[in-house]
């Protein structure tokens, strides 16, 4: 019996220790290999072209450049490339931004390493993964049985996000009519507008 090919992963984070830790852990998995590391969006673009990864594991917040716009562009340029984002932000609005931009999943930087594997495997199966620690509002589940639509047995897999929200709409200041944004406190809204 032939061994299946390893999933090729590119890790994008501006912090070398974070990249190193993720790479060491993922390379210890029998079915995964980190084919490259990038510290910036331009570096990631170059390495995506060179290494042809199956999955981009990226921080939401990078020092230079807009990671959400980068993900949007990648979905056009490399439609087969899967993307899993992680961040320290606990507000669910950041997960909404990431998923709207085209990410296949979003989890917290504080997630356990086992959850990282769960998220990667879910994304590789074509599911949308949302981290366990995020207080996401109920969203429409994909068709099929509830067993098929659950990631780790406790979170819905999402096909469609709420039509009330888009990254561009929020950044332009159009937040009325979106319960997610209206529920944020004034301080949170002001801090979310800053890039």
80: CATH: 3.40.50.2300
Q: What is the DSSP code string of 65-97?
A: S-HHHHHHHHHHH-TT-EEEEEES--SHHHHHH
Is residue 87 within 8 Å of 60, Cβ to Cβ? yes
Residue 135: the pLDDT is 60
Half-sphere exposure of 18 (CA within 13 A, CB side): 17
What is the extent of the structural domain holding 83? 7-161
Residue 89: the pLDDT is 79
Report whether pLDDT(85) > 80.
yes
Number of structural domains (the chain) is 1
- 41 within a domain of the structure (yes/no): yes
The per-residue pLDDT for range 116-171, each reduced to its tens digit, is: 999 999 999 999 999 988 765 434 334 333 334 334 434 444 433 333 334 444 44
- 65 within a domain of the structure (yes/no): yes
User: Is pTM, for the whole model, over 0.85?
Assistant: no
Residue 192: the pLDDT is 47
**What average pLDDT is seen over the chain?**
76
Report whether pLDDT(38) > 60.
yes
Residue 175: the pLDDT is 43
- 169 within a domain of the structure (yes/no): no
Residue 66: the pLDDT is 85
- 178 within a domain of the structure (yes/no): no
Residue 63: the pLDDT is 74
Residue 118: the pLDDT is 96
- 131 within a domain of the structure (yes/no): yes
- 177 within a domain of the structure (yes/no): no
Residue 147 contacts by C-beta under 8 Å, 6 or more apart in sequence? none
CA–CA separation, 77 and 90 (whole Å): 30
- 119 within a domain of the structure (yes/no): yes
- 181 within a domain of the structure (yes/no): no
Residue 136: the pLDDT is 57
């Amino acid at each position: 019996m032939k061994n299946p090919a390893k999933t090729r992963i590119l890790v994008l984070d501006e912090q070398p220790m974070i990249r190193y830790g993720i790479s060491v852990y993922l390379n210890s998995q029998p079915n995964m290999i980190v084919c490259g590391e990038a510290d910036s969006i331009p570096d990631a673009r170059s390495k995506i072209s060179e290494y042809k990864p199956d999955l981009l594991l990226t921080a939401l917040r990078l020092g230079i450049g807009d990671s959400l716009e980068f993900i949007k562009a990648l979905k056009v340029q490399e439609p087969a490339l899967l993307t899993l984002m992680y961040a320290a932000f606990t507000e669910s609005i950041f997960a909404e931004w990431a998923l709207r931009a085209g990410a296949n999943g979003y989890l917290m930087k504080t997630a356990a390493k086992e959850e990282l594997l769960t998220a990667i495997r879910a994304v590789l199966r074509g599911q949308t993964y949302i981290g366990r620690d995020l207080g996401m509002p109920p969203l429409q589940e994909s068709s099929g049985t509830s067993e098929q639509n659950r990631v780790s047995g406790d979170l819905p897999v999402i096909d469609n996000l709420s039509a009330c929200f888009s990254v561009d709409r929020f950044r332009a200041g159009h937040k009325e009519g979106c319960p997610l944004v209206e529920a944020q406190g004034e301080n949170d809204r002001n801090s979310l507008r800053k890039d």
